[in-house]
Amino acid sequence: MIFLNRFARPRIDALILGLGNPGMAYAHTRHNAGFDALDACAEKTGIMVNRTRSRALTGSGAWRDKRVALAKPQTYMNDSGFAVSGLVQWYKPGIIIVIYDDVDLPPGALRVRGSGSAGTHNGMRSVITHMGGEDFPRVRVGIGKPPPGWDLKDWVLSRYTDKAEAQAVAEASRLAADAALMIVSDGVEQAMARYNKKHIGIK
């Protein structure tokens, strides 16, 4: 867990980011699992994510005894780091937590990590570049690999046609919100112990 403001009291305790692409054309596509999870965070906390700041939709409020900000970068996925760097400068959070989709996990799988590389995810690569390091918690929602003959870009920007797959990823996105909020309240180790065992999968 990275403490971004070691020598002064943070303005907020945690900044939770959901990665995705803005606009109705991309709503609820595979690549927007992070946005869907962030919406679930907003619902669970009662925080309205309706203000524009640093090229992101944001909102802030309380979660238990913590001060929390939620944000959905509006820079499009591959440039997510531009929004994140501005948000970090504004909110001066104690920690940041990033929620995003992962093609290397099966649909409905969930993984919480305290740090790590971006893997094949361009949005996380942008965030890590602008943060200047990988030492911050992240929650990955599995969306599965593209079938044979599919281009990766076309796959992540597509919507679900299989009802069971859609339900599995939707439930995983809701659990991702729970996991992110548990990181805020109880720490990343507790969230890893609880949610890395979760794999909704396709029923």
Which residues are tagged catalytic?
31
Handedness of CA 66, 31, 26, 87 (dihedral sign): positive
Two structure tokens written together for 114: 């305290």
Per the CB < 8 A criterion, the answer to whether 41 and 180 are in contact is yes
The Cα angle at residue 57 between residues 53 and 60, in degrees rounded to 5: 80
Angle at 198 between CA 115 and CA 193, to 5 degrees: 50
Distances (CA, A) of 99 to 19, 44, 91, 199: 6, 15, 18, 16
C-alpha of 152 from chain center: 20
